[in-house]
A and B are shown apart, each in its own frame.
Chain A
Amino acid sequence: MKINFLVNKRPVTINSSPGRRLVDILRIDLGLTGTKEGCGEGRCGSCLVLMNGNLVNSCLISAFKLPDAEIVTIEGYAQSKEYANLKQALEVTGAFPCGFCSSGIIMATGNLLAENSSPTAAEIREALSGNVCRCGDYDNIIAGIRGGAAKPQSRRYGKTR
């Protein structure tokens, strides 16, 4: 089927079978490899994008849902001022040792901050409850999001969630 939709504000037309997943369309057809695939079943959050303003797992979106949809990927979000601020804060805490989870976590965080500009640690944990960081760097990620540095004793991997 021929599908017209918007990706990062640009009109896109693709030819796809209706059951293909958005994560594959983004990565393979459109070369937007910032969106990652981890579990492929909605559990890890590596593939998060915005669809019509809502945070969704692109591994769970079939192509037939895409006509007229507006998709924002990490490549689109990275153009925003909010991203620049967040990136700087995350660099301070040195979050994301390997970075595989980072695009999903940043998309989930951007979505949270759009509604709540100064979330508590508990609110951040809840917003990131669908994101798995295999390096277990949750303390530094949360500290970065809160704009502060993580305390040295909490820098051990996998300590808290």
Chain B
Amino acid sequence: MAKPGDLLRVLRPKSVNGLLRLYAKNPDALLFAGGTERATRLKPDSVSAESKIVIYLGKVEELSRIRRSQRYLEIGSCLPISRIVSIGRHILPEALSTALRSIANPAVRNLATLGGNICAAIPNNDSIAPLYAIDGQLEIRSLSGSRWVPISRFFPGAGETVLKEGEILFRIRIPLEEWDYQVFRKVSGSHICSHPLLNFCGLARFSKGILETVRFALGGLNNTVFRSLELESRLEGKTLPLSEKEVESLLAGADELLEPLTDSSFSAAYKRATGLRLLRWFIENIHRENR
């Protein structure tokens, strides 16, 4: 742990192997991707509260790759969000693309990376709810190998990730499924590119007026993202448009399961009411796409 006045040392590996070796040797080092979370915390000459060694990921070419197969898009953790949006145009699920385009502002998006948005361990960051809904997978690497973790298991508790000593997020795998209806909405506290308070992602697929698959995820209620496979499955096989009874029954089910927490800005009651309104808006609108 660094002491006030310790000088900042920056390591700039050029390959993943070099990065993993350096990180294994310096497990307290601070990983620095776009730096939009980190940069304002670095003091010019010292890093008082955190590590005195920074490992800059931006020179590792393998972390900025994007690869498409028939079923997946795999995005290097260090690719800036603006590049993901432009390369992924017409490929990325629309809800995820909308979420990424809603982050901060164009200049910040040129710096901020998807890996940083996930590893900042703030589950209401805007990429997270869409990644829950589309069943995104994360590849984690360390010197001892690689493992895949679904995004739904990446945040074990408040401000935490499952990354262990020496592990980095290597890439994010996005399943490329067809959806008939996709939405992303966020609620922010202020209009100037503020962090979201709540965000919601909903996806639906239907055929001949029958709902086949429905997924929805709600971020910002508490320290994790809300998704309920049980509630989703209740809608599957239903005929569109949903009846008022079906809508109300689903909302009542969600009301029971939501566990909002009051934070410094908003009460649990407000978050619950807003979360339920977002869910209502999604399910009441599914049938409009089915015309």
Which residue numbers of A lie inside 8 Å of B, CB to CB? 1, 17-21, 24, 40-45, 48, 54-57, 59-62, 64-65, 108, 126-127, 129-132, 161
Contact = CB atoms under 8 A, between A and B. Distances in A.
A57 B35 CA distance: 11
A18 B44 CA distance: 7
Contacts of B40: 40-42, 59-60
A44 B105 CA distance: 10
Contacts of B115: none
Nearest to B11: A64
B36 A127 contact: no
Interface in B33-58: 35-36, 39-40, 42-47, 54, 56, 58
Contact of B110 (A54, A62, A132): A54
Nearest to B44: A20
B129 to A, nearest CB: 21
Nearest to A67: B12
A19 B108 contact: no
Given A42-B107, A45-B107, A108-B107, A19 B35 contact: no
A42 B104 contact: yes
A60 B36 contact: yes
A62 B33 CA distance: 12
6 contacts: A42-B104, A45-B107, A56-B110, A57-B108, A60-B108, A132-B192
Given A45-B105, A55-B110, A19 B191 contact: no
A35 B30 CA distance: 29
B62 to A, nearest CB: 19
B58 A42 contact: no
Contact of B36 (A1, A24, A42): A42
How many interface residues does chain B have, given as a range?
20 to 34
Interface of B: 7-10, 12, 32, 35-36, 39-40, 42-47, 54, 56, 58, 82, 104-108, 110-111, 191-193
A44 B35 CA distance: 17
A57 B111 contact: yes
A131 B105 CA distance: 9
A39 to B, nearest CB: 9
Contacts of A57: 107-108, 111
Given A42-B104, A42-B107, A130-B105, A64 B10 contact: yes
A57 B39 CA distance: 11
Given A17-B44, A60-B111, A127 B10 contact: no
Contacts of B82: 54
A18 B8 contact: yes
A129 B108 contact: no
The 10 A-B pairs with the shortest beta carbon distances in the complex, nearest first, are A130-B105, A19-B42, A64-B10, A54-B110, A60-B39, A18-B10, A20-B44, A17-B45, A19-B8, A55-B107
Contacts of A19: 8, 42-47, 54
A107 B105 CA distance: 14
B108 A42 contact: yes
Nearest to B12: A64
A59 B54 CA distance: 18
B106 A130 contact: yes
B133 to A, nearest CB: 25
Given A19-B46, A42-B105, 17 more contacts: A1-B10, A19-B54, A20-B44, A20-B45, A21-B44, A40-B40, A44-B192, A54-B82, A57-B107, A59-B40, A62-B42, A65-B35, A108-B106, A127-B106, A130-B105, A130-B108, A131-B105
